[in-house]
Amino acid sequence: MECVFGLVGDGFAILAADTSAVHSILVHKSNEDKIMVLDSHKLVAASGEPGDRVQFTEFIQKNVALYQFRNGIPLTTAAAANFTRGELASALRKNPYAVNILMAGYDKETGPSLYYIDYIATMHKVDKGAFGYGSYFSLSMMDRHYHSGMTVEEAIDLVDKCIIEIRSRLVVAPPNFVIKIVDKDGAREYAWRESVKDAHVASA
Amino acid sequence: MSIFEYNGSALVAMVGKNCFAIASDRRLGVQLQTIATDFRRIYKMHDRLFIGLSGLATDAQTLYQRLVFRHKLYQLREERDMKPETFASLVSAILYEKRFGPYFCQPVIAGLGDEDKPFICTMDSIGAKELAKDFVVAGTASESLYGACEAMFKPDMEPEELFETVSQALLASVDRDCLSGWGGHVYVVTPTEVKERILKGRMD
């Protein structure tokens, strides 16, 4: 089951997502990157229907880029989150996207922020959020250990605690996770947490 | 589970002597899971008009955005704020437009009309207005709220006493409803000022 979670720290926001691409009982791949770099200072972690996930997040990414080209300045995280919610809301009663989104970003004026956007377009600005079956474990772990203004080390430690909890307590726990961070220096991949590496295939 | 009970909500508005109070709970949930404990359900349209939206959070957010748009347009054209009675008719019309594919929201409208006379009303999800002289309620805790308000209400309460009454009625009712709670937001509005207070109740 797809596990996506994130939290806001002191001057940064972190998103973690599992990396399994699953179809019924088959794991197609275990290094699927579900956290997209939306622009220089934004990350979007998406979970849900695989086709919708990729198509919708790419659609948002291209529209965010278009705004920047047309207007010469990037969208704020709040604006991008509201745009995403608007697209989900208009599609909701016609052709709904089955995608849950956690959008993390860093703005110079307002600092780091994290937006929880449901597949039915419920949007809320949060300090910590999670989707999927993993949320039952990661949210509780974060409720216990999270405090505002955490350092990167403390936050990664908390993310690791959540991953350990998911791995040990979720019946079909995904083996691998990717962690990405966004702060004043931009959005980038932070680390992978792999417990199963893809088997090496000899080249033809 | 009913779509109206997906996110959980509790709203109440009460009339006092030349003043009114409107209060809501603070929980945002997704069925059994709590997502946030600082969700705002009550919005200010202008200094003397507030609307609370219970029911499905995504529709509440969409409806609020549409109402802000209509009200701002009205302000530009008429060069004045909308009266509460007019606004209630507007909300009713917008809801009935979607008669066969409705917004899953129950609004509670409270405002000060001509000569500072308090006005409250609620409506169902397709815009059937219910005007009341004493109090109106909405949300998953509405049945408890009816009972608590009926027991505690007195006509012509001063703002301080009104605040106490509304707060006790809200907290008592949400404590009996698992889908709403986690504190309360209370606005007490008199012709001269708006006082916003946050209640701490049983945080579960």
Question: How far, in whole angstroms, is CA A185 from its chain's centroid?
Answer: 18
Question: How far, in whole angstroms, is CA A109 from its chain's centroid?
Answer: 23
Look at residue A204 in the predicted model and tell me its pLDDT: 65
B63-101 pLDDT, tens digit per residue, is 999 999 999 999 999 999 999 999 999 999 999 999 999
Question: Contact A33/A46 with Cβ under 8 angstroms?
Answer: no
Question: What residue segments make up the domains of chain A, in order of their start?
Answer: 3-203
| Chain B residues bordering chain A (beta-carbon distance below 8 Å) | 7, 28, 30, 33, 35-36, 39, 56-58, 61-62, 101
CB count within 10 Å of CB B112 equals 21
B3-35 pLDDT, tens digit per residue, is 999 999 999 999 999 999 999 999 999 999 999
Flag if B33 and A126 touch (Cβ within 8 Å). Answer: no
Question: What's the token pair of residue B191?
Answer: 């012709």
Q: What is the C-alpha end-to-end distance of chain A, expressed in Å?
A: 34
Q: At what angle do helices A50-71 and A77-92 cross, to 10 degrees?
A: 130
Domain A3-203 is of which CATH architecture?
Answer: 4-Layer Sandwich (3.60)
**What is the C-alpha separation between A155 and A128, in angstroms, rounded?**
11
A52-103 pLDDT, tens digit per residue, is 999 999 999 999 999 999 999 999 999 999 999 999 999 999 999 999 999 9
A27-52 pLDDT, tens digit per residue, is 999 999 999 999 999 999 999 999 99
**What is the complex's ipTM, to 2 decimals?**
0.93
Handedness of CA B142, B146, B148, B153 (dihedral sign): positive
Flag if A93 and B35 touch (Cβ within 8 Å). Answer: no
In this structure, what is the dihedral angle of CA atoms B56, B62, B68, B70, given to the nearest 10 degrees? Answer: -110
Interface test with B, best of A7, A120, A125 (most B CBs within 10 A): A120
